Every structure is written in structure tokens, then in C-alpha cells.
């Protein structure tokens, strides 16, 4: 601050010092003792009461509130409110210092005291409101293919106060339900709307969104052109594609990609069409021969009546095609043209081929054979038994008329040869003019009598073995012998003594075969047996326990195909059946080289499942039994049953007598996951 002159005005409150200088540059000042200019106490001051500032929570709402605080030492002030810089009259219910029911906007105030001093807010008070709750845009994906459910709607919402909730509805479907989400998918065709509610409970509803689907993608046959002549490729197919979503991709089985394909032979042609959405359809279209094509309706053949005769004849009956026909016959042995009509005669034994062409140039051909009787008649006596050599061949030339010589590949020179084994026999005949006749005949070996007794067998003490030599001959004879004195004439035998058993089988023709098998006996006992529940219910698991004594080397379980196996090992098998019925359950116990099969029946009954039992059954299906064992095994009647469960549950154990299926003992325990229960029988 710096001013000159004897009098200064417009001063603010504060301390002021001066310096006075005369013409001789002599000076005086009041440094250290400034002149104090004072101001009166504060008259008026305005500030906002922040705690009373309330914004609108709804777009266009009028629940805003603001309040100011006044410091006034100069009488009753005058209040002038402004909104957006323009004079503003406070709503009803407001006071000078607190305004209510305000819309969004910028509010300011001038407060004037009695001295004319004016106080204002440093910044306007801003009453806010959320943006308008509205759907900015919507993305609709229509159903891609007819009758699918892959439609989708996504709405993009703005404004209001988040979070939003979404309630989707479908016209005509009161049961329609979708999650609270801006996107719904898996939609079928239909009209859908959504109601959106923001956190201030402001609600808006959408327009109707229509999900549509394309028409069914379809292939319509416009035309098919049949093949003009047999074997030609003059057929054609023309189709039109409708429905779906263009453009279409077309693929025929032969690789063509157009709606019309040509140069086709007779056959089935498959077309596959895919539209822009990936929808596909296909159709198989036949191409056939043209109706009334040329064909040979009937062929009548007359063979030559005598050896080397020439009275053969072929007569054809033609139909179809377009006349006139062009016919050409060829004898194939010398490729000689022999006729051009539907009838040819005076034929020798040979093959004849005919070519027929109609006016459409369609051609067919066929080959026929004219035969003649052989001048050599033969009588063959076949072999009776396999490996024998008692067959015979006898020939007669020209019905016995004439003198002929014979030379067999066996060296014999007669018209009859005997004592023949299986093989090929050729004879050269001379005496029929200048010709040499050669004939070959086959003698075949009949099938042998087939006996299969299998490999040598082993039995334990007290066991038996069965052998069968049965053949497919009800009148066959059987003779069994053994070194131990055994004898039988039955096709099947059951024995319990070791030794070599030999059988001789003679069939109705007197052919025989012999076979032997050795039965060994092991100095040990085996008693295959298992414990099980003979009556169970469908879908109810049960355990079968091996109790064979002495302990076998190996156990093999043989279950019916209807059985579902849960677990199995050398000691037990756990199974269940889904369908009721009576089933055979078998176990093969092997001890050394001998074995025994033990089979029992189990009756499976249909179980009526109540709703209360449903959960229990599901638990059973999950397999709650973790471990099941019986020890010691074998035992003297005192043993323990150990059961370990995956989850805590009650158990019930029953011991049955296999002889009469009666219950020998029964125990129940509960409240644990692992049990070890003693039994004494």
C-alpha cells in the first residue's frame, strides 16, 4: 500500500504510517506509532448447514432440502434466494434459512443487514438428482433354427440409482421365469417384456420384444430327369431351398454345390443344405431309368439234342424303347456274326451274345449259352468212410455204340476203375472219329466221425467228471472202456475214478473213430460254497461271500448279464439287479488242478419305493459299504463280520442256512461307521 497527499480515503481497517518531506528534504514520520484505522464488529455472515443438505433420489423429484446458518449483529436481515442465478421464491413450508421440497438445481442467497451490508455463500448449494431411469438400447438375437430355443435379449439400463432388479415376462405364459438379470437366453419364439426397478423403487417397463424364428429349412424337388438309356448318365435333379436364413450352402454327395445337378446315372443322391445360422437339412433323391425302356421280356432257349448237333435255337421277346430295333448276334467262340433278328436257330453248343439298340440309341446286351448232352455218361460210387479207398468210376461212351480206348491217369485202360481213394481221376478216350475226349472226375473224402473229449481233467476227492462223445447220428453206437475195468455203451459218462477212458464211436454207415482222455485225481478235498441272501429287492445291493473249504487257490464269479457289479474280489462280490426275476449265481472254486462249480438261485422282487425311502435308495446306489470281511475263514463256527461304511449308518446282518434257507442268526447295530460283530453258530 502506498498513497500520497495530505488526505487519503477508501482505507481498509489496519495500521498506517506516514513520512512528511519539505523542500529542503527534511523529513518527519510516525514510524513505531502508526495510526490505527478500525472497523466495526462483523455485521452479517452466511454459511451452509451441511447436515441439512438432502438431494433428490428420483429424477424430476422435489424432496431436496438445504439450510443456511446466519451470523447477524445488525438487526433483522433481508433474504433474497436465487436458483440458477435467477430470483427464486422458496416453496411452501420453507423458512428464510431452510428450504424444503426443492427440485434439482444450483441455489444461492443474498442476506442484507440494516446497514446495507450483504453476505453471500462462497459457492452455490447444489441439489442433485439421479439421471432418468431408462433403457438405453436393447440387443435381440432371434431363434436361429425352426423349433430351437436359442433366442436372447439383452437390455442396457442407465440412470436411476443402482442396483437394478429385472422382472421378465412372456405373453401368454404365466409360468415363464428367468433370473434377475439384464440378459435372458434360451428363448423360444414369443413376445417378452421386462420391468426394471432401481434402488429408489423407481420402476419402468420395456416395450414388447418379439423373438421370432425362421421358417423350416426345406428342400423342395422341382424336377428330376430320368436316365434315358440303361447305364447312361443323362439324369438330372433340380431343387429349390426355402426357409431358414439365407445365404445357403449346398453340398451334394458327389461334391456339386448348385441347386441343379446333371449328368447323373441311376442311383440315390443326397443333398445337404446349411443356412447362415448353421441350421441343416438333407434329402435323398432317387434318379431312375426312364419308363418303358428297351428290355428283353422273355428268352426261350432250345439246347442241342445230340452231341455235336446243330439244332439249338434262341428266341427273344422284346418290349419298350423306341422302335425300330437294331439286333446283332455274335457266337463268342469264334466272334462270328450269325443273325440280326429276334430268332436264331441251327445253333451248335456255344455262347451267344446279342446287342440290341433302339431308335433312342439305347443299347442292351445279354449272353446265352446253348448246351449239348455229353457223349460220355459216368457212374460214380463214392467213398463211405473218411480215409477209405473203395470208390468206383464207370463210364459209357455214345450209349455203348462204337469201339473206344481208355487211358486213365492211374494207368488203367478199362471203362471202369475201382478201389479208389479220394482224389482227381482223368481219362483220355479215343475212337470218336478224329477227336480225343478228355474227362476228369473228383472223388471226395467224407467228413470223419468227430469226437472231442477235451483236455485231460483233474478231480479232487469226492468229485466226479463227465465226458461226452455224442455225435449227430441218432443210430450211432458207443463203447467206453478203461484200464480200471469201467465199460459203458452210453454217449455220455460220469465217473469218479482216475484212469484213461477210451471211447469208440460207430456211425450208421459203419465208420468208426476212437478217442481217449485221462482223468487225474488230486489227494485233496474241495467244497465250493457261498453265503448270500436268496431273496432281495430290485436296486437293492447285496453281498455274496465265498466260504469254500479248504481255502481255494482262485475264485471266479459267474454272474448273469442282468447283474450290476458294484465290487468284487477273491472273497466276495457285491451286486444288484434292476429288474425282478429269478437268476442263477455261480462261483467256480479252483484248488490246484481241480475245480468245483457251485450255483444257487436268487429271487429278485419288485420293490415299491416310497417318497421317504427315495433318498435312502440314492445313498445305497452311491455304495455306502467301504469294506466287508469275514474272519477267520474257514472257521469252526465262531467268526467276526467286519463292516466299514463311507458314512455313518445302521446295519443289519443275517446268517442263512444254505440247505433250507432258514435264518441261523441275525444282529443289528447302529450309530457308527465301522462295525466288528461276533457270531457263534
Q: 77 versus 494: which is more confidently predicted?
A: 494
Mean pLDDT to the nearest integer, 203-230? 95
| Segment among 108-122, 139-153, 336-350 with least mean pLDDT | 108-122
pLDDT higher than 60, residue 428: yes
Q: How far apart are CA 407 and CA 429, in angstroms?
A: 7
Please provide the CATH number assigned to the domain covering 295-370: 2.60.40.10
Mean pLDDT, the chain, integer: 90
Question: What strand order describes the sheet that includes 267-274?
Answer: 249-252, 267-274, 280-287
Q: 424 versus 11: which is more confidently predicted?
A: 424
What pLDDT is attached to residue 617? 46
pLDDT higher than 70, residue 73: no
Q: Check for a shared fold between 295-370 and 457-522.
A: yes
What pLDDT is attached to residue 22? 86
CB 373 within 8 A of CB 306: yes
pLDDT higher than 70, residue 286: yes
If pLDDT is split at 50, 70 and 90, which confidence band does 52 have?
A: low
Whether the pTM exceeds 0.75: the reply is: no
**Helix and strand totals (H; E) in the chain:** 1, 56
List all residues 6 or more positions away from 564 whose beta carbon is below 8 Å from its beta carbon: 575, 576, 577, 578
Q: What DSSP string runs through 224-281? A: EE-BSSTT---EEEEEEEESS-SS-EEEETTS--SSEEEEE-SEEEEEEEE-TTS-EE
CB 461 within 8 A of CB 524: yes
pLDDT higher than 50, residue 19: yes
What pLDDT is attached to residue 481? 97
What pLDDT is attached to residue 43? 56
What pLDDT is attached to residue 40? 61
Q: How far apart are CA 524 and CA 328, in angstroms?
A: 88
If pLDDT is split at 50, 70 and 90, which confidence band does 115 have?
A: confident
List all residues 6 or more positions away from 579 whose beta carbon is below 8 Å from its beta carbon: 538, 562, 604
Q: 331 versus 36: which is more confidently predicted?
A: 331
If pLDDT is split at 50, 70 and 90, which confidence band does 74 have?
A: low
What pLDDT is attached to residue 679? 87
Overall fold of domain 134-211 = Immunoglobulin-like (2.60.40)
Q: How far apart are CA 415 and CA 96, in angstroms?
A: 151
**CATH class for the domain made up of 530-605:** mainly beta
What pLDDT is attached to residue 650? 86
If pLDDT is split at 50, 70 and 90, which confidence band does 42 have?
A: low
| Segment among 43-52, 187-196, 416-425, 622-631 with least mean pLDDT | 43-52
Mean pLDDT to the nearest integer, 192-212? 96
Residue-wise pLDDT for 297-347, tens only, equals: 999 999 999 888 999 999 999 999 899 999 999 999 999 999 999 999 999
Domains of the chain by residue range: 1-129, 134-211, 218-287, 295-370, 376-443, 457-522, 530-605, 625-680
List all residues 6 or more positions away from 665 whose beta carbon is below 8 Å from its beta carbon: 654, 655, 679, 681
Overall fold of domain 1-129 = Immunoglobulin-like (2.60.40)
Mean pLDDT to the nearest integer, 568-580? 93
Q: Which CATH number applies to 218-287: 2.70.160.11, 2.60.40.1080, 3.40.630.30, 3.40.430.10?
A: 2.60.40.1080
What pLDDT is attached to residue 610? 46
Q: Which of 108-112, 325-329, 373-377, 435-439 has the highest mean pLDDT?
A: 325-329
What pLDDT is attached to residue 621? 42
- The 8 Å CB, 24+ separation contacts for 162-169 are 162/198, 162/199, 163/198, 163/199, 164/196, 164/197, 164/198, 164/199, 165/196, 165/197, 166/194, 166/195, 166/196, 167/194, 167/195, 167/196, 167/197, 168/192, 168/193, 168/194, 169/193, 169/194, 169/195
If pLDDT is split at 50, 70 and 90, which confidence band does 660 have?
A: low
What pLDDT is attached to residue 3? 85
Instruction: Note the CATH architecture for domain 457-522.
Output: Sandwich (2.60)
pLDDT higher than 80, residue 397: yes
| Segment among 66-75, 571-580, 651-660 with least mean pLDDT | 651-660
pLDDT higher than 80, residue 48: no
Judge: domain 376-443, CATH 1.10.3470. no
pLDDT higher than 80, residue 54: no
Q: How far apart are CA 510 and CA 501, in angstroms?
A: 22
Mean pLDDT to the nearest integer, 641-665? 78
Q: What DSSP string runs through 39-57? A: -PPP-EEEEE-GGG-B--S
Q: How far apart are CA 155 and CA 548, in angstroms?
A: 73
Question: What strand order describes the sheet that includes 44-48?
Answer: 44-48, 64-72, 98-102
- Locate 617 and state its grid cell: 435308495
CB 134 within 8 A of CB 205: no
pLDDT higher than 80, residue 296: yes
If pLDDT is split at 50, 70 and 90, which confidence band does 156 have?
A: very high
Q: How far apart are CA 509 and CA 475, in angstroms?
A: 10
Q: 114 versus 251: which is more confidently predicted?
A: 251
What pLDDT is attached to residue 611? 42
Q: What is the percent of the chain with per-residue pLDDT over 90, rounded to a whole number?
A: 66
* Beta-strand pair 165-170/203-205: unpaired
What pLDDT is attached to residue 496? 94
* Cell 415376462 found at: 169
Q: In Å, what is the CA distance from 468 to each residue of 369, 457, 526?
A: 53, 13, 24
Mean pLDDT to the nearest integer, 371-385? 95
List all residues 6 or more positions away from 612 whose beta carbon is below 8 Å from its beta carbon: none
Mean pLDDT to the nearest integer, 224-241? 93
pLDDT higher than 50, residue 167: yes
Amino acid at each position: 500500500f502506498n498513497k500520497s497527499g495530505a488526505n487519503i480515503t477508501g482505507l481498509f481497517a489496519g495500521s498506517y504510517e506516514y513520512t512528511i518531506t519539505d523542500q529542503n528534504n527534511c523529513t518527519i514520520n510516525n514510524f513505531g506509532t502508526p495510526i490505527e484505522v478500525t472497523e466495526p464488529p462483523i455485521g452479517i455472515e452466511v454459511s451452509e448447514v451441511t447436515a441439512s443438505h438432502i438431494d433428490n433420489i428420483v429424477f424430476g423429484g422435489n424432496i431436496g432440502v438445504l439450510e443456511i446458518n446466519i451470523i447477524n449483529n445488525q438487526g433483522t436481515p433481508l433474504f433474497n434466494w436465487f436458483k440458477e442465478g435467477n430470483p427464486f421464491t422458496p416453496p411452501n413450508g420453507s423458512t428464510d434459512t431452510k428450504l424444503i421440497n426443492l427440485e434439482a438445481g444450483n441455489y444461492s442467497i443474498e442476506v442484507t443487514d440494516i446497514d446495507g451490508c450483504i453476505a453471500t455463500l462462497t459457492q452455490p448449494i447444489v441439489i442433485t438428482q439421479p439421471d432418468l431411469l431408462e433403457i438405453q438400447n436393447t440387443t435381440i438375437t432371434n431363434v436361429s433354427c425352426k423349433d430351437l430355443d436359442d433366442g436372447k435379449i439383452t437390455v442396457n439400463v442407465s440412470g436411476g440409482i443402482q442396483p437394478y432388479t429385472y422382472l421378465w415376462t412372456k405373453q401368454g405364459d404365466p409360468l415363464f421365469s428367468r433370473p434377475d438379470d439384464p440378459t435372458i437366453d434360451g428363448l423360444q419364439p414369443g413376445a417378452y417384456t421386462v420391468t426394471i426397478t432401481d434402488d429408489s423403487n423407481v420402476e419402468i417397463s420395456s416395450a414388447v420384444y418379439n423373438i421370432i424364428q425362421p421358417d423350416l429349412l426345406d428342400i423342395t424337388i422341382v424336377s428330376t430327369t430320368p436316365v434315358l438309356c440303361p447305364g447312361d448318365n443323362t439324369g438330372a435333379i433340380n431343387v429349390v431351398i426355402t426357409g431358414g436364413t439365407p445365404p445357403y450352402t449346398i453340398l451334394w454327395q458327389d461334391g456339386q454345390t448348385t441347386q441343379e445337378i446333371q449328368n447323373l446315372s441311376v442311383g440315390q443322391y443326397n443333398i445337404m443344405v446349411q443356412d447362415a445360422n448353421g441350421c441343416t437339412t438333407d434329402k435323398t433323391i432317387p434318379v431312375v431309368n426312364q419308363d418303358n425302356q428297351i428290355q428283353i421280356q422273355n428268352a426261350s432257349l432250345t439246347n442241342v439234342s445230340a452231341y455235336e448237333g446243330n439244332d439249338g435255337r434262341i428266341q427273344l421277346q422284346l418290349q419298350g424303347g423306341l422302335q425300330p430295333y437294331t439286333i446283332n448276334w455274335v457266337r463268342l467262340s469264334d466272334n462270328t456274326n450269325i443273325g440280326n433278328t429276334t430268332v436264331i436257330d441251327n445253333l451248335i453248343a456255344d455262347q451267344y451274345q446279342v446287342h440290341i439298340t433302339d431308335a433312342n440309341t439305347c443299347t442292351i446286351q445279354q449272353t446265352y449259352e446253348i448246351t449239348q448232352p455229353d457223349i460220355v455218361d459216368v457212374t460214380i460210387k463214392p467213398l463211405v468212410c473218411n480215409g477209405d479207398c473203395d470208390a468206383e468210376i464207370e463210364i459209357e461212351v455214345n450209349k455203348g455204340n462204337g469201339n473206344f480206348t481208355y487211358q486213365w491217369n492211374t494207368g488203367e485202360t478199362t471203362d471202369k476203375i475201382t478201389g479208389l481213394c479220394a482224389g482227381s481221376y482223368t481219362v483220355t478216350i479215343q475212337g470218336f472219329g478224329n477227336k480225343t475226349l478228355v474227362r476228369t472226375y473228383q472223388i471226395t473224402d467224407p467228413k470223419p466221425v468227430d469226437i472231442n473229449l477235451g483236455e485231460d481233467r483233474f478231480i479232487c476227492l469226492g468229485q466226479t467228471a463227465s465226458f461226452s462223445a455224442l455225435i449227430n447220428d441218432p443210430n450211432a453206437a458207443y463203447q467206453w472202456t478203461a484200464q480200471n475195468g469201467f465199460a459203458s455203451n452210453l454217449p455220455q459218462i460220469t465217473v469218479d475214478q482216475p484212469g484213461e477212458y477210451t471211447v469208440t464211436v460207430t456211425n450208421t454207415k459203419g465208420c468208426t473213430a476212437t478217442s481217449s482222455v485221462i482223468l487225474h485225481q488230486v489227494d485233496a478235498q474241495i467244497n465250493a460254497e457261498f453265503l448270500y441272501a436268496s431273496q432281495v429287492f430290485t436296486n437293492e445291493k447285496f453281498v455274496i461271500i465265498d466260504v469254500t473249504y479248504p481255502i481255494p487257490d482262485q475264485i471266479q464269479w459267474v454272474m448273469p448279464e442282468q447283474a450290476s457289479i458294484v465290487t468284487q474280489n477273491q472273497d466276495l462280490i457285491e451286486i444288484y439287479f434292476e429288474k425282478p426275476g429269478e437268476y442263477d449265481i455261480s462261483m467256480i472254486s479252483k484248488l490246484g488242478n481241480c475245480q468245483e462249480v457251485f450255483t444257487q438261485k436268487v429271487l429278485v422282487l419288485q420293490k415299491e419305493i416310497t417318497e421317504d425311502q427315495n433318498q435312502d435308495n440314492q445313498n445305497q446306489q452311491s455304495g455306502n459299504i467301504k469294506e466287508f470281511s469275514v474272519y477267520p475263514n474257514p472257521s469252526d463256527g465262531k467268526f467276526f463280520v467286519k463292516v466299514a461304511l463311507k458314512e455313518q449308518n445302521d446295519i443289519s446282518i443275517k446268517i442263512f442256512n444254505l440247505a433250507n434257507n432258514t435264518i441261523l442268526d441275525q444282529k443289528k447295530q447302529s450309530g457308527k461307521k465301522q462295525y466288528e460283530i461276533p457270531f457263534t453258530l
